[in-house]
Structure 1
Amino acid sequence: MAKLLIVDDDTAFRETLAETLQSLGHDTVEAADGERALDAMQRTRFDAVFLDHRMPGMDGLQALAAMRARLARLPPVIVLTAFASGGNTIEAMRLGAFDHLTKPVRRDAVIDVLARALHAEAAALAGQASGAHEDGELIGPSDAMREVHKRIGLVAASSAPVLVLGETGTGKEMVARALHRHSARADAPFIAINCAAIPKELLESELFGHVRGAFTGATADRPGCFRAADGGVLLLDEIGDMAPNVQSKILRALQEGEVTPLGGHRTVKVDVRLVAATHRDLAAAVREGSFREDLFYRLNVLSIRVPPLRERLADIIPLAEHFLRRAAAPEAPKVLSASSAQVLLSHAWPGNVRELRNLMERCHALVRHRVLGAADFAAELGAAAGGGGTSSDGVPADWLDRELPDAIEKLERLLITHALAQAQGNRTEAARRLGIHRQLLYRKIEQYGLG
């Protein structure tokens, strides 16, 4: 039996979670806000804490920071939120959260995260390594992107090099910027350079600088990217395309913390966190002899893999809507219909997020009507526009011509009404059939006037 603390201003959620945890044989204590949670933790040693993010007064992240400051030892803290974003996931993990879950939380997810948390706590109390997670704006509620957010939060505080891996267009630079934004170097410079976009004969000068007269056209001293990023973060994008002679100088800069300008004789000390990004398989490049093995291992201290868009289908519609809003600002943006959403979800996205962004920007510029339909995307994506009474999935055509929020609302109404009828009005049973928590069902019943 574990001693567990539940911190949430939603009484119904606290009670439901307490019932779940008690049914597993654990002892629970409830707190309605961060201050009461801190008081309870100073009086009692808890084995794990479930902490809501959005609360009046002290929010969850502020409470987590206060717990770290006031307690000699912090138990595993599982942050819960109904308003997930990449930023708050990263901050939660950076502040020491064990995990970050989105409400409503299913029973099996509670069982899984609690088992992992208690195992980590037992290992830590036994003096063993607890085994930390292996796990612009990074948008995406998918599990794959949540793992990226968690990974950023775990490595942001370090100064070790980070290798960001992913296909072209997945958002590797966004990951690097998030690392910078959530690190202790956030107020220092962030410098990004694309190694594939600069001619090989000029790349060394761009990185390390040069002195006047170093080569024809060098009419003045130039500091270079390493010195410009001193104290901050330097992103070397597409490092897999870097020439071998420059690779050796990058390795020296990492090992010695100093650079020598082209044509110069004096070294200059630099304090730079290096983030390298590539779409190439660097391990294969090492085997082929095109990339230095020692540099690969020096860069690959910490790594983050950014998944391709085809592995994060849950992110496609939120990203598309975000790009439409950004393209239209400050005007009202165009909106997706259910039929256009279906086309977007069926596309393979070889160009990943960059391809999706470009498509949304073109539609904003070229399409005159406000609601985007399947035909607006079909020509470019090679998808059928559909038509007739139903889609290939048997969905009524009048649903597919609606705006996406309207179609979702209509489907929710039907599912809830059907579940209540099947459960003969028993809301607890209806919630079980729908796979959601009771309090979420209560809110939906009130929202749709189904009481």
Structure 2
Amino acid sequence: MAHLLIVDDDHAFRDTLAETLQGLGHETVAVASGAEGVETASRERFDAVFLDHRMPGMDGLQTLAALQARLARLPPVIVLTAFSSAGNTIEAMRLGAFDHLAKPISRDAVREVLERALQQSTAVSPSGAADGDDDGDLIGPSHAMREVHKRIGLAAANSMPVLVLGETGTGKEMVARALHRHSARADRPFVAVNCSAIPKELLESELFGHVRGAFTGATGERPGCFRAADGGVLLLDEIGDMALDVQAKILRTLQEGEVTPLGSHRTVKVDVRVIAATHRDLSAAVREGHFREDLLYRLDVLSIRMPPLRERLADIIPLAEHFLRRAAAPDGGEPPKALSADAAQRLLSHAWPGNVRELRNVMERCHALVRHRVIGGADLAIALGAAPRDEAADAPPADWLDGELPAAVEKLERLMLARALAQAQGNRAEAARRLGIHRQLLYRKLTQYGLD
């Protein structure tokens, strides 16, 4: 039996969670505010804490920070929120939360997270402070993106190298910037280098710098990106395209914490956190002799995989609306354009080979070219570079647009569930992953719509 603390200002949810935990055989203490939670945890020893994110007065993250400062040993803290975002998930994990879950949370999910929490003896310690939330391109309620947010939060709490993997256009640089923004190095430089865009003969100089006369045209001294990023973060984007001899120098810099500018025999100490990103399979590149195995081991201390957009169906509409809002922002308060039901359906059915970058470009194109307030299916087809479809033959049934919003939402839900099941060939776990929802919710929806 575990001794558990619940901190939540919602009386009904607090009582329901306490009843669930007691039904699982545990003892609970429930309080209604962050201040009460800190005071109670200072007096009693708890095995785990369930902490609401949004509360009046001291919110969940402030409470978590206060618990870190007050307690000699922080128990596993499970942060719960009804309003999840990339920023609050990253910050919660960076501050030492054991997990960050979205409400409502099922009994099975409570049991599963608590079992994991009770196996943990110590929590992740926080380090430093972060600036404002600017993680718009990392938004998304899907399970895949929430796992990315958690990995960013855990990685932001230290300075070890990070390897970010993912297809072109998935947002690997956004991950690197979020790691920097939420780390203790947030007030220090962030420098990004695209290794595939710089010729091999210039990349070494770009990274390590050179002294005057090091080569023809070197009329002055150049510090290089490692020295420019000293104290901060250096992103080596598309590191899989880097030449082997430059890889050897990168490895030495990571091992020794120093660089040698071209044309010089004098080493210069640097304190840089390296984040490497690539769309390539580095293990395959090692086997083919195109990438150093020792460098891969050195970089792959922490890895974060950015899933392609086709695996994040639940994120497509929120991302599209985010990009429309951002496109409208510079236009002096002009309201952002909205998506029609047909446009939303087309977004969900597109393969998105260019991932988030392609989606952003399409939404910016729609903002610039569509003159009316609501983006229709034909507008989107043109923005995607496809011929408009026969609207009469391809549009959803006319009665979709009749009646109240809840009925239309139910019809769209049913369509998405059937489509995900078809794509997953009846595999329910895979269908839930594609939709970005928990399997328990999928089962309930299948029963609700008679698809089980």
Normalised to the residue count of structure 2, the TM-score between the two structures is 0.84
Tell me the distance in 2 between the aligned counterparts of 1:113 and 1:259: 45
1:101 aligns with 2:101: yes
1:378 aligns with 2:381: yes
Could you tell which deviates more after superposition, 253-262 or 376-385?
376-385
Q: For residue 351 of structure 2, what is the amino acid of its counterpart?
A: A
Could you tell which deviates more after superposition, 228-237 or 373-382?
373-382
Tell me the distance in 1 between the aligned counterparts of 2:284 and 2:411: 53
Deviation per residue, 1:221-243 (Å, 9 max, x gap): 11010000000000000001111
Tell me the distance in 2 between the aligned counterparts of 1:16 and 1:258: 56
**Within-5 A mapping of 1:103-252:** 103-120=103-120, 124=121, 137=135, 138-252=138-252
SS state at 1:29 partner? strand
SS state at 1:318 partner? helix
SS state at 1:117 partner? helix
Contact 1:374 1:386 in 2 (8 A): no
Contact 2:401 2:408 in 1 (8 A): no
Contact 2:97 2:124 in 1 (8 A): no
SS state at 1:204 partner? helix
Q: For residue 354 of structure 2, what is the amino acid of its counterpart?
A: G
1:334 aligns with 2:327: no
Change (3 A) 1:383 1:16: farther
Contact 2:76 2:123 in 1 (8 A): no
Deviation of 1:131 (Å): 11
Contact 2:140 2:318 in 1 (8 A): yes
State the aligned residue count. Answer: 404
**Within-5 A mapping of 1:233-312:** 233-312=233-312
Q: For residue 367 of structure 1, what is the amino acid of its counterpart?
A: V
Tell me the distance in 2 between the aligned counterparts of 1:383 and 1:175: 35
SS state at 1:291 partner? coil
Deviation per residue, 1:172-225 (Å, 9 max, x gap): 000001111111111100000100111111111110111112222211111010
Q: For residue 234 of structure 2, what is the amino acid of its counterpart?
A: L
Contact 2:75 2:123 in 1 (8 A): no
1:62 is matched with: 62
Stretches of structure 2 that go unaligned for 5 or more consecutive residues are: 126-133, 414-440, 446-452
Deviation of 1:266 (Å): 1.0
Deviation of 1:110 (Å): 1.6
SS state at 2:119 partner? helix
Normalised to the residue count of structure 1, the TM-score between the two structures is 0.84
Deviation per residue, 1:250-277 (Å, 9 max, x gap): 1111111111111122111111000000
Could you tell which deviates more after superposition, 246-255 or 382-391?
382-391
Contact 1:338 1:407 in 2 (8 A): no
Q: For residue 399 of structure 1, what is the amino acid of its counterpart?
A: W
Q: What RMSD, in angstroms, separates the aligned Cα atoms of the two structures?
A: 2.6
1:5 is matched with: 5
Q: For residue 400 of structure 2, what is the amino acid of its counterpart?
A: W
Q: For residue 273 of structure 1, what is the amino acid of its counterpart?
A: R
Change (3 A) 1:131 1:39: closer
Q: For residue 191 of structure 2, what is the amino acid of its counterpart?
A: I
Change (3 A) 1:33 1:81: same
Change (3 A) 1:390 1:196: closer
Contact 1:337 1:401 in 2 (8 A): no
Could you tell which deviates more after superposition, 230-239 or 17-26?
17-26
Deviation per residue, 1:9-34 (Å, 9 max, x gap): 11111112222222222222111101
SS state at 2:164 partner? strand
Change (3 A) 1:130 1:53: closer
Deviation of 1:388 (Å): 4.1
Query: Percent identity over the alignment?
Result: 76
Deviation per residue, 1:28-49 (Å, 9 max, x gap): 2111101111121122222221
Deviation of 1:397 (Å): 2.9
SS state at 1:165 partner? strand
